[in-house]
């Protein structure tokens, strides 16, 4: 029922647009009405990759042009119907996306964007060199329907609308699925997504494959509408710019963004081109450039998000007036600290052997060896710069060791990627919090549950259980960007345990918390330990650590200087010297 309800707005929009288009008799305006859904679909294809993963592509014209030329050349040389060629073009676009994505996803940020720009430009020159400067589709008067050559231009508009509706529905399905949640997590914090068990490379490859297929399919339809294909018209920089512009203007990362952008910008650009193109060459590029500048200045995330945020603020202000302060406040369910019985067993679940990592001449971690036993809480302490976080990054795959082994249940996992180590049973939180800010608490935690859940429903049940364990059930629907530091720390903890890890790595979970807030988080960690979780924790708050952990491991300058029970380690002269300096060693007895 919910899915049918979500399909209703695009269906109503499509029907309304079709009614308007059927009332237009001017052939040029009818062509504009056909181009709007074409560029909307192309924008949706760009949005599927760049809008949901955050990797900006300047090269989507490569897929669009491949589809256009595949459809045109297939008719010229093989006399194949475009009804068959457009699906073939989609397959070629998907294959091209996979081939382009695999090497290019090694790059990030503007390097990725510039690398993507190179592909359509290179293909453009190849097609010009091959002699395909202008390809005209053959006229098939004997079988116009079979070759998609309609006498009534309204049929092109209706077919374009059908493609747009199908793409919108597909995008909506993806948004609500594991696919869409993984892409949104990658966009908002790729490191956190990887640590939560998301295979970021695999999901990005799926995204660019599907994105390339959609772009190629609509490129094939575009060639059929215009009946003439040139390299510049399908591989040119303006083509990629149009996809990017309509999506950014309307709103990236949402199904309605490219549609809004196309409905506003395409008619404006086409009409101005017809009226003033002779006097102002390239006016379409000017329009798209102005649109980008306006978006950057007034609505950096696009019109959709700007309007949604304004509506939310207005709704929130009305609710604040009508609600009492007690009802409006969101309270976190607090758990009381309780004494922990030392319950560590002899079973070793994590063993580190001679682990080292150097950055040039700096030895950040030097020959670190230790064992973590089942149901133990191990505190890893040391002064700033001792190598504690670097050690965690080695344990869960963000860094590869220069030497040494990380054995999880006897298997050497050193050098594996973070999502593989997460699948092996290690959860992780971060010193600097890494929430998915645009997602709710529950959705943040759902991302962490995917590593164990077989279905989306199972992931939501596991996430709800994890949220309850940290006491955030009452505020589970709140957006992460609105949370306090304590709530963010607890949410990150819930995301780490949602995947049911055997071992939990907590990196300064109490950082930024007041005394009372720290006690609440400590109580949650103690409860997790009582439930059988094995924990390694980095923390500077010694008062909390002494009553929390079973054993200390002390690092200084990347090396282990001692390990043992808290009451022994805190009186060790080497530990006191590492923290306070030699002059304080004489006060060790105090």
How many residues comprise the chain? Answer: 590
Q: Is residue 301 part of a domain?
A: no
Q: Is residue 258 part of a domain?
A: no
**167 and 189 co-located in one domain:** yes
Please give the residue that has the higher pLDDT: either 175 or 271.
175
Q: Is residue 354 part of a domain?
A: yes
Question: Where on the phi/psi map is residue 282: left (φ > 0), alpha (ψ -120 to 50), or beta?
Answer: left
State the DSSP code for 508: S
Distance CA 526, CA 516 (A): 15
Torsion angle in degrees (nearest 10) through CA of 210, 269, 149, 45: 0
**533 and 469 co-located in one domain:** no
Residue 119, domain CATH: 1.10.3470.10
**142 and 224 co-located in one domain:** yes
**27 and 125 co-located in one domain:** yes
**109 and 185 co-located in one domain:** yes
pLDDT at 361 > cutoff 70? yes
Residue 418, domain CATH: 3.40.50.300
Model pLDDT for residues 186-221, shown as the tens digit of each residue: 999 999 999 999 999 999 999 999 999 999 999 999
Facing residues of 362 across strands? Answer: 359
User: Which token pair is 333?
Assistant: 């369910």
Q: Is residue 561 part of a domain?
A: yes
Q: Is residue 126 part of a domain?
A: yes
Q: Which domain holds residue 534?
A: 348-425+501-587
**493 and 542 co-located in one domain:** no
The number of distinct structural domains making up the chain is 3
Residue given tokens 């952008």 in the structure block? 261
Distance CA 404, CA 35 (A): 59
**229 and 373 co-located in one domain:** no
**473 and 356 co-located in one domain:** no
Q: Is residue 249 part of a domain?
A: no
**151 and 216 co-located in one domain:** yes
Distance CA 109, CA 132 (A): 34
Residue 28 has a CB neighbour count (10 Å cut-off) of 12
Q: Is residue 138 part of a domain?
A: yes
State the DSSP code for 555: E
Distance CA 397, CA 399 (A): 5
Q: Is residue 447 part of a domain?
A: yes
**459 and 583 co-located in one domain:** no
Which of 69-83, 458-472, 514-528 shows the lowest per-residue confidence on average (mean pLDDT)?
514-528
Residue 434: per-residue pLDDT: 92
Model pLDDT for residues 156-175, shown as the tens digit of each residue: 999 999 999 999 999 999 98
H or E, element range at 99: helix 82-104
Q: Which of 499, 522, 541 marks a domain boundary?
A: 499
Residue 330: per-residue pLDDT: 44
**479 and 524 co-located in one domain:** no
Residue 477 has a CB neighbour count (10 Å cut-off) of 10
H or E, element range at 267: helix 256-276
Model pLDDT for residues 98-125, shown as the tens digit of each residue: 999 999 999 988 899 999 999 999 999 9
Model pLDDT for residues 297-333, shown as the tens digit of each residue: 888 788 888 888 788 777 766 655 555 444 334 455 5
Distance CA 356, CA 573 (A): 25
Facing residues of 228 across strands? Answer: 136
Model pLDDT for residues 528-538, shown as the tens digit of each residue: 999 989 999 99
**165 and 221 co-located in one domain:** yes
Residue 325: per-residue pLDDT: 44
Closest CA to 219 of 199, 206, 195, 236: 236
């Amino acid at each position: 029922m919910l899915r049918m309800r979500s399909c209703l707005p695009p269906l109503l929009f499509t029907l309304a647009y079709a009614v308007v288009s059927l009332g237009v008799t001017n052939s040029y305006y009818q062509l504009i009405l056909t181009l709007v859904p074409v560029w909307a679909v192309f924008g949706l294809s760009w949005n599927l990759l760049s809008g949901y993963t955050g990797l900006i592509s300047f090269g989507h014209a490569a897929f669009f042009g491949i589809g256009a030329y595949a459809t045109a050349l297939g008719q010229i040389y093989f006399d194949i119907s475009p009804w068959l060629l457009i699906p073939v073009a989609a397959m070629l676009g998907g294959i091209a996306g996979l081939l382009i994505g695999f090497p290019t996803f090694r790059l990030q940020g503007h390097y990725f964007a510039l690398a993507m720009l190179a592909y359509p430009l290179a293909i453009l020159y190849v097609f010009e060199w091959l002699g395909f400067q202008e390809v005209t589709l053959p006229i098939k008067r004997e079988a116009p329907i079979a070759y998609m050559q309609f006498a009534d231009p309204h049929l092109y508009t209706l077919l374009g609308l059908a493609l747009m509706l199908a793409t919108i529905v597909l995008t909506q399905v993806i948004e609500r699925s594991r696919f869409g949640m993984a892409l949104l997590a990658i966009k908002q914090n790729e490191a956190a997504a990887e640590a939560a068990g998301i295979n970021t490379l695999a999901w990005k490859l799926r995204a660019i494959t599907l994105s390339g297929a959609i772009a190629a399919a609509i490129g094939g339809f575009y060639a059929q509408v215009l009946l003439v294909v040139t390299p510049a018209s399908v591989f040119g920089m303006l083509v990629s710019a149009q996809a990017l512009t309509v999506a950014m203007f309307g709103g990236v990362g949402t199904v309605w963004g490219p549609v809004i952008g196309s409905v506003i910008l395409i008619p404006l650009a086409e009409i101005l081109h017809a009226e003033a193109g002779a006097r102002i060459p390239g006016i379409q590029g000017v329009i798209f450039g102005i649109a980008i500048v306006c978006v950057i200045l007034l609505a950096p995330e696009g019109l959709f998000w700007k309007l949604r945020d304004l509506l939310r603020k207005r709704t929130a202000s009305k609710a604040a007036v009508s609600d009492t302060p007690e009802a409006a406040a969101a309270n976190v369910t607090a758990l009381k600290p309780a004494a922990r019985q030392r319950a560590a067993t002899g079973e070793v679940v994590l063993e580190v052997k001679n682990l080292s990592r150097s950055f040039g001449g700096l030895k950040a971690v030097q020959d670190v060896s230790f064992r973590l036993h089942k149901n133990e809480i191990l505190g890893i302490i040391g002064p700033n710069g001792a190598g504690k976080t670097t050690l965690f990054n080695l344990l869960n795959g963000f860094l590869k060791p220069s030497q040494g082994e990380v054995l999880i249940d006897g298997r050497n996992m050193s050098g594996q990627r973070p999502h593989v180590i997460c699948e092996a049973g290690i959860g992780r939180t971060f010193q600097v919090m890494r929430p998915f800010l645009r997602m709710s608490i529950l959705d943040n935690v759902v991302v962490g549950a995917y590593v164990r859940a077989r279905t989306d429903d199972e992931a939501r049940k596991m996430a709800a259980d994890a949220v309850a364990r940290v006491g955030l059930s009452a505020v589970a629907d709140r957006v992460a960007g609105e949370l306090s530091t304590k709530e963010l720390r607890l949410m990150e903890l819930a995301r780490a345990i949602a995947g049911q890890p055997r071992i939990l790595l907590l990196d300064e979970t109490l950082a930024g918390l007041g005394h009372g807030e720290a006690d609440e988080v400590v109580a949650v960690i103690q409860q997790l330990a009582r439930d059988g979780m094995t924990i390694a924790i980095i923390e500077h708050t010694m008062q909390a650590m002494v009553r929390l952990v079973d054993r200390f491991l002390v690092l200084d300058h990347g090396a282990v200087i001692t390990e043992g029970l808290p009451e022994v380690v805190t009186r060790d002269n080497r530990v006191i010297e590492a923290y306070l300096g030699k002059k304080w060693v004489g006060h060790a007895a105090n």
